[in-house]
């Protein structure tokens, strides 16, 4: 189970700068304006052989009656409830402020451990000044600079001290893990209940997290399968955006934990922008993906209705045309069990390995038929390809200029691999490496 760290604090203390430093890219918007980070940013950090999730939250203004700031405060509270440890960020240049003290009081009442990061301590002088923050009442105080990385490693050692090593956390094997994800009210819970109600399923509830989500294990044709539950709210929030935030956060956590992500959409409402975002996130994390169109019983049928619906979805998801689409009804249980059958097939595809000889027979022929283009005056040559990894599948191509291969040619190679070897429902990755000099000379000769 992946652990989670929530970054909290008042506005403009550098939370998003720290988030970007931790995840290694500029994902959160950084601007010296209060309230810029409104929604959550959810990223993954690797540190000292450990991997954990980190959530960036908006600036907390405890006593504000502004609807916008109430929503930000609620979302920060949700992040804190979902987290294993809280990273409280303050501004070392400003010294402790009344707002810092109010937030500290809130954190002291929570059940989560707190690490205090005193940001903007870019040199020894400001590091010495950080001692003023001991008055906030936390035992773990770390003067840091998110901007230049000063002392970030020391702080991460403390933050991740109780987290497991990656090799302990991610052993191969175990039951197939399926997460039903998607927007609120599309029928995820109803599908879960329909699956667990099948006569052939033996249900055993198991704890999924230390919070309020419960996973379920069903046995299907002798195989144990874990259904990851993303439903269930700990308590009601006043702002509807906060409920959506909680749904998004739990979706990200479920994607991290699963092998196959089942993206549920509403047959009546059709594909929406948030659905595409969820599919993209599952693909970026290289999970198996299935699209399930629920409430199919509510759609008036004509000849080829399902096919036209499928074509419309693929029209909006051009780069995801490898994802299978199922039409189900949780209410009537129509084709619901097909979800399990398809997820098992997708998981097999994730573990598929193609022999090097077969791979090169197909791919090198495709390269001869459509050679890579010349880029910046260089003739690109791809001499050899192999598959070094499964689950997710990765293909390594040897070329004379790895950095110059254009994205559209990579997509051409991906389509070639899929056309010959399948990989339905599975994102595949093609990466490039400088070709071996001896092999290059043999091919050039």
Q: Where are the domains of the chain?
A: 4-167, 173-350, 356-444
Q: Is the separation of the CB atoms in 108 and 137 below 8 Å?
A: yes
Q: Using DSSP, state whether 252 is helix, strand or coil.
A: helix
DSSP string, 344-402: HHHHHHHT----HHHHHHHHHHHHHHSPPPEETTEE--EEEEEEEETTTTEEEEEES-G
- Provide the phi-psi class of 333: left if phi over 0, else alpha when psi is between -120 and 50, else beta: left
**Which pLDDT score, from 0 to 100, does residue 442 have?**
42
Q: Is the separation of the CB atoms in 56 and 7 below 8 Å?
A: yes
Cis amide prior to 392 (ω within 30 degrees): yes
Residue 373 corresponds to which tokens in the numbers above?
């283009």
The single residue listed with the structure tokens 């093609």 is 430
Q: Which of 66, 13, 67 is nearest to 37 (CA)?
A: 13
**Domains 4-167 and 173-350 equal at CATH topology level:** yes
Fold of 356-444: GMP Synthetase; Chain A, domain 3 (3.30.300)
Q: Is the pLDDT of residue 148 over 80?
A: yes
The single residue listed with the structure tokens 């043999």 is 442
Q: Binning pLDDT at 50, 70 and 90, where does residue 33 land?
A: very low
| Greater model confidence, 134 or 76 | 134
Mean pLDDT of the chain: 85
The single residue listed with the structure tokens 């070709």 is 435
Query: Which CATH number applies to 4-167: 2.60.40.790, 1.10.132.10, 1.20.1250.30, 3.40.50.300?
Result: 3.40.50.300
Tell me the C-alpha distance between 279 and 270, whole Å: 14
Would the CA dihedral through 410, 431, 28, 120 be positive or negative? negative
Q: How many other CB atoms are there within 10 angstroms of residue 442's CB atom?
A: 10
How much helix, strand and coil, in percent to the nearest 5, is found in the chain? 40, 25, 40
Q: Is the pTM of this model over 0.85?
A: no
379-394 tens-digit pLDDT:
999 999 999 999 999 9
Radius of gyration, CA atoms only, the chain: 25
Ordered strands of the 394-399 beta sheet: 382-389, 394-399, 429-434
Tell me the C-alpha distance between 58 and 41, whole Å: 9
Tell me the C-alpha distance between 300 and 47, whole Å: 53
**Which pLDDT score, from 0 to 100, does residue 436 have?**
59
Q: How many helices (H) and strands (E) does the chain have?
A: 14, 18
Q: Is the pLDDT of residue 189 over 80?
A: yes
Lowest pLDDT segment from 56-60, 98-102, 366-370, 420-424 = 56-60
CATH 3.40.50.300 fits domain 173-350: yes
Tell me the C-alpha distance between 42 and 98, whole Å: 28
**Which pLDDT score, from 0 to 100, does residue 9 have?**
96
| Greater model confidence, 121 or 436 | 121
**Which pLDDT score, from 0 to 100, does residue 406 have?**
94
Q: Per-residue pLDDT averaged across 102-122, rounded?
A: 94
Would the CA dihedral through 251, 255, 258, 263 be positive or negative? positive
Lowest pLDDT segment from 7-21, 182-196, 199-213, 261-275 = 199-213
**Which pLDDT score, from 0 to 100, does residue 1 have?**
60
Q: Per-residue pLDDT averaged across 206-235, rounded?
A: 65
């Amino acid at each position: 189970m992946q652990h989670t760290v929530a970054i909290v604090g008042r506005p403009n203390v550098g939370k998003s700068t720290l988030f970007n430093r931790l995840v290694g890219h500029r994902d959160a918007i950084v601007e010296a304006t209060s309230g810029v980070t409104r929604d959550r940013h959810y990223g993954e950090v690797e540190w000292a052989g450990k991997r954990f999730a980190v959530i960036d939250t908006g600036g907390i203004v405890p006593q504000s009656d502004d609807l916008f700031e109430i929503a930000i405060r609620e979302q920060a509270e949700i992040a804190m409830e979902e987290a294993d440890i809280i990273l409280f960020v303050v501004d070392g240049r400003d010294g402790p402020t009344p707002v810092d003290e109010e937030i500290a009081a809130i954190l002291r009442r929570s059940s989560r451990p707190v690490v205090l990061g005193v940001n903007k301590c870019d040199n020894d002088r400001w590091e010495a000044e950080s001692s003023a923050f001991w008055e906030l009442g936390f035992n773990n105080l770390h003067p840091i600079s998110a901007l230049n990385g000063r002392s970030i490693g020391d702080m991460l050692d403390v933050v991740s001290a109780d987290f497991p090593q990656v090799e302990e956390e991610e052993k191969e094997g175990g039951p197939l893990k399926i997460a039903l994800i998607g927007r609120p009210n599309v029928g995820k819970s109803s599908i879960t209940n329909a699956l667990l109600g099948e006569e052939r399923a033996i249900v055993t509830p198991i704890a999924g997290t230390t919070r309020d989500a419960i996973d379920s294990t069903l046995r299907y044709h002798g195989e144990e399968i874990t259904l990851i539950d993303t439903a269930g709210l700990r308590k009601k929030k006043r702002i509807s955006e906060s409920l959506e935030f909680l749904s998004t956060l739990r979706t990200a956590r479920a994607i991290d934990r699963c092998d196959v992500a089942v993206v549920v959409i509403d047959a009546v409402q059709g594909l929406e922008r948030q659905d595409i975002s969820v599919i993209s996130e599952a693909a970026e994390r290289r999970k198996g993906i299935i699209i399930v169109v629920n409430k199919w019983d509510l759609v008036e049928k004509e000849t080829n209705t399902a096919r036209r619906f499928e074509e419309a979805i693929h029209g909006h998801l051009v780069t995801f045309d490898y994802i299978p689409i199922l039409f189900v009804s949780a209410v009537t249980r129509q084709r619901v069990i097909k979800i399990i059958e398809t997820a098992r097939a997708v998981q097999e595809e994730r573990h598929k390995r193609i022999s090097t000889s077969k791979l090169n027979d197909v791919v090198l022929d495709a390269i001869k038929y459509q050679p890579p283009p010349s880029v910046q005056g260089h003739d690109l040559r791809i001499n050899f390809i192999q598959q070094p990894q499964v689950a997710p599948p990765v293909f390594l191509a040897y070329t004379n200029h790895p950095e110059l291969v254009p994205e559209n040619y990579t997509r051409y190679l991906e389509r070639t691999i899929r056309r010959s070897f399948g990989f339905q429902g599975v994102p595949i990755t093609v990466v490039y490496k400088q070709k071996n000099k001896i092999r290059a000379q043999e091919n050039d000769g």
